[in-house]
Structure 1
């Protein structure tokens, strides 16, 4: 009987939450051990406050005084002017590239040399914008960070609060910075005798959008292109509304303060405003709320302070937690540090309405767009750590993108719904040489749906995912090509596998994608059976006759027909996706343990790890854990090429700028699986002698 039909027997629900220790870990004391204490600014790694949809990066002053760190949001996007090239003046003029695919022409959203201008415009637009800069204003432009003394800064993780203290000319300046958990608001308190002496104010500055750079880091926006955009000031008692217009994008910054102060434009030809306190003021409290339009709500500092304190305490207190033996083991201490700081940073940068971009809300990578193939790495950890409310914020992207996915498949002559890759919030996938040929994002919804059903086996869960899984499974079955010579279904060509480092016209039947295709079709079929619906015969036929894993010299290789893979440098760097068939995914029906053992040995022998990405190390760690090698799993998470800096930011490596958040979310995913176990492996997987306590983790498949 086919494994896909075997699921017609009664589905046995497995308990999803593995509680090793029941609520006795002193979370507060562990978290607070990793509060940041700094004495300098970090250009690429700002300390941040935020709420997942909004983040505000600060320098050593607690604001953006000396370094123009970014204020980014889920909704803040901008389009540059359309190109004026004849016949290429709007997106509808873009036609893509026709590519010969299994005896027919298929249109792909590839950069078209004949339509270079509109192609590039669609790649770069829309792009995320920096909403504005807030900093201390000394009235003296010669004051620099080097002018300050006694510089200290604390990030208090349990409360989501940044407390900064510096001294200028013998006068102490203390700044508290907090972000609202509910709105795009920062709350700031500034205390100093310089306030009433006239030597200290606060400025607000607004940049023009930068839409030309694939990577806009560490700072986003042009503060000197003042003629390209406009700002307007409207004042009322104890508040000011600054309206910022960049071409067709308009939004407001609503400033609300307590006590005697006023906002004025600094210079007529600039977009910088100053909030100046009265002569009796020695503590200035204010909030800045960024929004598409002004509201009648006037948010006070104390309201944000209390809301943030409550939200962060709840965040740390619910869901899963793990305690490592940090007092006696330096590796455990570093792993705990990375876990705690990653939890904070991902709540700030990776818990929004849309899946995160790789650099979160720190800077702009890939024009600020997010990648659908990376949704697994950005969101799966919330599932294993039982943070379902944060997972729910953005998992709806699949339902939102379903209409455009159906349209994409139809235009290419396929059935069902084909997910794109490099996406903006509208669901449009940007043209790209890799973007339109990648396929491993397609089964992600099957993974999420199945994990969700294991924890919530309800009719509501089945209905939530039904149309999504059906549409994508229809595409997956349609995409697979029946090879009349071999009588099996092939994947590709043309295509790119996970590693994105092969020739698309030569890439066929990549190992990981074959396993993920079978997994996805199997889950989609179970979904139908749970609802007493029939399974489309095409799904079963493709599943039963999908090509076998490609094997050369008794190892699994990236794709069928690859030449001398292990001795070819271009094939032994980037993502070792072949390992995903054992670890990320539960065992495939065709999985051969002996061949896989040879494969992972060859990866360790030949891989160019300095050129790997941050999620490659958690990928290998999960594989090693499932093999039972906990020592090697931890070593991968702490690998020298998988660095996390002083602030806790995952270092981007040689190919992308810092930060690269899939390394942080991948870390939590790996730790979650090692703490919660998986089907057939109850309990934890840690090195011998590690006294680990864990609670609340969800078991993997």
Structure 2
């Protein structure tokens, strides 16, 4: 199955009026909302029927749940309550989830004093939870056949509660008073902010510093709340079902996780990255099914590592070296035998596939054939980005063998040494040599052009270090060419930090800042700090790129903040960051 016809909300909390109807938006006036990212609390207010309503909301730091406090005279007057319902999809509209009867959904509810316990079953999936009153006089009304319950205030103008979700029923010790939860949440976020790396741009003269710092601060908060769990998320994080049915993409794991290494918060990526060890058996089977050695990593995946049946999933290849990159990140942070033992099987199985995939031609060259480019606008032979990343990955795997006292693997070296060189072409405006997208296109979508989307030509020297065959001068020419000629209005949010990394690595810091902050709708970060107001890979890219520009990278110029212009306009103060590869 490539999609999920039954996307599920764990639950939905919303205000209702005295008749049990959801508050009509046309009657809500003067809404205000403020998110305090230092303490992890959202404070909102609005007017309803001329009466003010104040709401404090917390996401629990140690459990799956929320805590809410409401203050309003409407509570005392019985004109407002709270409803918890469990909307479902209708099996036809993919992401529309509402009420209505459904024979495959079962909801059981039990009310005991100031607590409502519930259990939800959908086919073979079961989850449980509880809803407890912490403050105020109120009572629960349960309607399990309608998959909802209501909290009806009886007296007072303050009501607070906690709602929890999990695989087991929460015990009494799971609940705390709202003020206690508020303090715990504030402590949790203070610990987060006081750990890891930090960057201060406030002494800069360049007027763009404030926007860049805003993106940095909010991106840290957003990635911590959306991408620090048991698996990477889809591009929209935990904020929606979205167009990928909630499935994550293995190639995008880099943008969701790599920044934790350079911001010294690696522990937040570790659980999700165990997917490589967990998915290894199925990745081996996938490679064998296609008559390759080693492990082939998929693109769009289920939580158990199965790949969505789609030709693009088979052809896309730039996710393949990622586990070697992640393994090297962890080794740089923890260079010990424990790290080597943890990752060596994944690294070697990945390299085995990478050595068996290229096709040897009559000249003894190894070609990457029929590759769906990172851009996904076509299929080609010997794409620039993948070719450079392939060589880097094979060479790095050899380093891992040496660290473990093993001899180099001859077949890996033969492929790395004889990969087809990156194809060159001329910039039509300047005549300079630049890297071409690929050696040969096999197929391109007739509706698409190949000068928009991800600028793959710069990928082989962005977060990927220089390898043999990648001339720094030609790389610098290529960055300038892409900056001048690319259709930036038809790309994605991570393309801007991706290009900024390439500009920094080719020692063009002014261009790096220009690309990072390019005035473009696709490079917009909303008031909430989200790229495009939904696309989190852009946020992860900004975090990695700026940390790299501040703390440097292997082979960077020996000066402070080598990725920023040394022109007196930027004052970059930082601490706790780690040098990029």
Same fold by TM-score, threshold 0.5 exceeded? yes
Do structure 1's residue 434 and structure 2's residue 294 form an aligned pair?
no
2:333, 2:388 → 1: CA distance? 24
Find the counterpart in structure 1 of residue 253 from structure 2.
375
- Give 1:500 shift: 1.0
Q: 1:126 to 1:320 in 2, by over 3 A?
A: farther
**1:404-423 alignment runs, 5 A limit:** 404-423=282-301
**1:147-296 alignment runs, 5 A limit:** 147-209=27-89, 216=95, 221-224=97-100, 229-258=105-134, 259-265=136-142, 270-279=146-155, 281-296=156-171
1:202, 1:377 → 2: CA distance? 38
- Give 1:269 shift: 5.5
1:564, 1:287 → 2: CA distance? 55
Deviation sequence 1:143-164 (CA, Å, 0-9, x none): 4334234432221111100111
**1:290-369 alignment runs, 5 A limit:** 290-297=165-172, 298-300=174-176, 301-325=178-202, 329-365=206-242, 366-369=244-247
Find the counterpart in structure 2 of residue 99 from structure 1.
none
Q: 1:327 to 1:447 in 2, by over 3 A?
A: closer
Find the counterpart in structure 2 of residue 513 from structure 1.
386
1:351, 1:224 → 2: CA distance? 34
2:461, 2:5 → 1: CA distance? 38
Find the counterpart in structure 2 of residue 583 from structure 1.
462
- Give 1:211 shift: 6.2
- Give 1:636 shift: 1.8
Of residues 549, 557, 571, the one that matches 1:674 is 549
Find the counterpart in structure 2 of residue 5 from structure 1.
none
Do structure 1's residue 490 and structure 2's residue 370 form an aligned pair?
no
1:326, 1:563 → 2: CA distance? 51
Find the counterpart in structure 1 of residue 451 from structure 2.
572
Deviation sequence 1:375-402 (CA, Å, 0-9, x none): 1111111111111121213111111111
Q: 1:431 to 1:133 in 2, by over 3 A?
A: same
Q: 1:580 to 1:211 in 2, by over 3 A?
A: farther
Deviation sequence 1:405-450 (CA, Å, 0-9, x none): 1111111111111111101111111111211111111111111111
1:139, 1:246 → 2: CA distance? 31
- Give 1:453 shift: 1.3
TM-score (norm 2): 0.92
Once the two structures are overlaid, the 10-residue window that deviates more, 534-543 or 332-341, is 534-543
Deviation sequence 1:490-541 (CA, Å, 0-9, x none): 1112x20111111x3xx11111111111111111111111010122221111
1:152, 1:603 → 2: CA distance? 42
Deviation sequence 1:332-364 (CA, Å, 0-9, x none): 111111111111111111111101210000112
Q: 1:142 to 1:438 in 2, by over 3 A?
A: closer
Of residues 405, 409, 425, the one that matches 1:552 is 425
Give 3-state SS (helix, strand or coil) of 1:123's partner: coil
Find the counterpart in structure 2 of residue 540 from structure 1.
413
Tell me, yes or no, if the aligned pair for 2:280 and 2:295 is still in contact at 8 Å.
Answer: yes
Give 3-state SS (helix, strand or coil) of 1:250's partner: strand
Tell me, yes or no, if the aligned pair for 2:260 and 2:268 is still in contact at 8 Å.
Answer: yes
**1:5-154 alignment runs, 5 A limit:** 122-125=1-4, 129-140=8-19, 141=21, 143-154=23-34
Tell me, yes or no, if the aligned pair for 1:124 and 1:212 is still in contact at 8 Å.
Answer: no
Tell me, yes or no, if the aligned pair for 2:382 and 2:440 is still in contact at 8 Å.
Answer: no
Structure 1 gap ranges (5+)? 1-121, 652-657
CA RMSD of aligned residues (A): 2.2
Give 3-state SS (helix, strand or coil) of 1:401's partner: helix
2:43, 2:179 → 1: CA distance? 15
1:254, 1:693 → 2: CA distance? 46
Of residues 329, 332, 351, the one that matches 1:451 is 329
Q: 1:143 to 1:179 in 2, by over 3 A?
A: closer
**1:597-616 alignment runs, 5 A limit:** 597-616=476-495
Find the counterpart in structure 1 of residue 540 from structure 2.
665
2:91, 2:452 → 1: CA distance? 30
Tell me, yes or no, if the aligned pair for 2:16 and 2:23 is still in contact at 8 Å.
Answer: no
Q: 1:313 to 1:624 in 2, by over 3 A?
A: same
2:300, 2:377 → 1: CA distance? 17
Tell me, yes or no, if the aligned pair for 1:631 and 1:686 is still in contact at 8 Å.
Answer: yes
Structure 2 gap ranges (5+)? 427-432
2:90, 2:524 → 1: CA distance? 29
TM-score (norm 1): 0.76
Find the counterpart in structure 2 of residue 68 from structure 1.
none
2:5, 2:277 → 1: CA distance? 21
Of residues 551, 570, 575, the one that matches 1:690 is 570
Q: 1:213 to 1:346 in 2, by over 3 A?
A: farther
Of residues 516, 521, 525, the one that matches 2:398 is 525
- Give 1:228 shift: 5.6
1:274, 1:302 → 2: CA distance? 23
Aligned length, in residue pairs: 561
Tell me, yes or no, if the aligned pair for 1:203 and 1:274 is still in contact at 8 Å.
Answer: yes
